[in-house]
Amino acid sequence: MDRVTIFDTTLRDGEQAAGGTLNVPEKLEIARQLENLGVDVIEAGFPISSPSDFEAVKIIAKEVRTPIICGLARARPEDIDRAWEALKEAEHPRIHTFLSASDIHLVYQLKKSRDEVLQMAREMVARAKTYTDDIEFSPMDASRTEHKYIYLILEAVIDAGATTVNIPDTVGYAIPDEFGNLIEGIFKNVPNIDRAIVSVHCHDDLGLAVANSLESIKRGARQVECTINGIGERAGNASLEEIVMAIKIRNDFFDLTTNVDTRQIYKTSRLVSEMTGFPVQPNKAIIGANAFRHESGIHQDGVIKMPITYEIIDPRIVGIPGSSLVLGKLSGRHAFRERLAELGYSLSEEGFDRAFSVFKELTDKKKEITDKDIESLIAEELRTVSEVYHLDRIQVSCGDRGIPTASVKLIDPDGQVLADAALGTGPVDAVCKAINRIVGVPNVLTEFSVKSVTEGIDAIGEVLIRIESDGVTYTGRGADTDIIVASAKAYMNALNRLLAAKKAGA
């Protein structure tokens, strides 16, 4: 199979993302990980842009030996010379020079004619060639440039020594079929194109960077310039992980390969996110937090039976340990039972029905149910097996100006509904007093503690209560997203233990 060269520009174009500045040690650490990932080319920076960028390119060139190390340079003598000064210790150095090509850029930015630009491109490629044989040239804003002029400038720079010609969709303007036609036209109309590798560099302003890159590969391009997590100028660049995995998973369509060790993708993504401070959106393809998580009951059922039903990628291929079934309001009984089994719980059918009912109630309060939530929920179920009185509902009124008031409804052993209300020094005190008025068993509350079971503002709170009666201590626990309800459950749990003990003693 043909191989696609993966040119990673995370450290150059990726760093151009607003707020994404990296220091020298951070760039070196990312470069080493990119080497582990197996990218073919690392564009380490723009040496003339700043002393720190020069230093970063120089250190990476010296210490990262396997990939080609590339430095960017405008088509100016001082840029070319500075790039080589930074790259000269590299095992495999490349100078990448660029110059605007579209009339929009020539008229409004460069204020030069097409002939002048053509001459500059030819001369600067030749100058770079005096330093190294590996030269890349990019006619900037190629997707908005007249095709005939692109053909002309590419022929000239190849004759001058360029070994890679890169076609940038600099402002993300192209549509896949249109961009593919440009690539195809280059192969048909540039006489010496067989002496260079055709590369593409696509931006994501219309959300088409990956689509344009893949279409270009299909039309004959054999180098793709991309970044980890798709970061870069404005809306970003083509995403490395998406391009690599599209080639790998749809090998039947592309019949191509890359050198990338896909098992390093997730690790690299997390490193770049941490270093740049740019979080990865949850629904990001391949490496987003939700990429291998399933909440729909139908999808969960399919994944449990056979992962390929709803997963086209084995998460382990990209370095993620495995997919996860996210339990939420759309989850079904099958997924809930599967998670219970994974956590080591085996309930009777009646117990499972009760637990599933409570689980469904909890999903209306929390978007996502964690394993800790489930463990707390099951502990609650196991605690309610020996209920004497069942807590049906509570209502509390409190505030800094009001008198805390609680009303409760309990169901007694005969199935009768009993209700009462009480005032207290606080809402929990009012709840306990209202419950005591119904149950009528003398006791003293000796301990009350609260802790969060999970993280977040919608976390489940777990309450531990200890009461004493006739010199014996009884412990109760309760959990709920409402801490007052959790307190009532804990108090009822302790009272039920007390009542059960008295009944057994009788």
367 and 432 belong to one structural domain? no
Q: Is residue 132 in a domain?
A: yes
DSSP E strand boundaries for 75-178: 93-100, 135-140, 164-169
Interval 43-56: pLDDT, tens: 999 999 999 999 99
pLDDT at residue 325 in the model: 56
Question: Are 117 and 99 within 8 A, CB to CB?
Answer: yes
Q: Is residue 288 in a domain?
A: no
H or E element: which one contains 353?
helix 349-363
352 and 423 belong to one structural domain? no
Q: How many domains does the chain fold into?
A: 3
Interval 97-131: pLDDT, tens: 999 999 999 999 999 999 999 999 999 999 999 99
Of 349, 381, 413, which residue is a domain's last? 381
470 and 374 belong to one structural domain? no
170 and 251 belong to one structural domain? yes
Q: Is residue 200 in a domain?
A: yes
Interval 422-462: pLDDT, tens: 999 999 999 999 999 999 999 999 889 887 766 667 677 88
**Distance from first CA to last CA of the chain, Å, rounded?**
83
Which structure tokens are listed for 204? Answer: 């994501």
Of 211, 246, 276, which residue is a domain's last? 276
Q: List CB contacts of 25: < 8 A, sequence separation 6 or more.
A: none
Q: Is residue 40 in a domain?
A: yes
DSSP E strand boundaries for 319-460: 324-325, 390-397, 405-411, 417-423, 444-452
Rounded alpha-carbon distances, angstroms, from residue 331 to 290, 323, 348 = 15, 15, 20
Average pLDDT, the chain: 88
Provide the domain limits for residue 97: 2-276
Q: Is residue 284 in a domain?
A: no
Q: List CB contacts of 431: < 8 A, sequence separation 6 or more.
A: 394, 396, 406, 408, 424, 484, 487, 488, 491
H or E element: which one contains 333?
helix 333-342
371 and 431 belong to one structural domain? no
Q: Is residue 330 in a domain?
A: yes
pLDDT at residue 358 in the model: 77
CA distance 500 to 506: 10
For the domain that residue 83 is a member of, what is the CATH number? 3.20.20.70
In this prediction the pTM is 0.70
A 10 A CB-CB count for 478 gives: 26
Interval 358-400: pLDDT, tens: 778 777 766 667 666 776 666 666 555 467 898 999 999 998 8
10 and 104 belong to one structural domain? yes
423 and 374 belong to one structural domain? no
93 and 7 belong to one structural domain? yes
Q: Is residue 434 in a domain?
A: yes
Of 357, 381, 405, which residue is a domain's last? 381
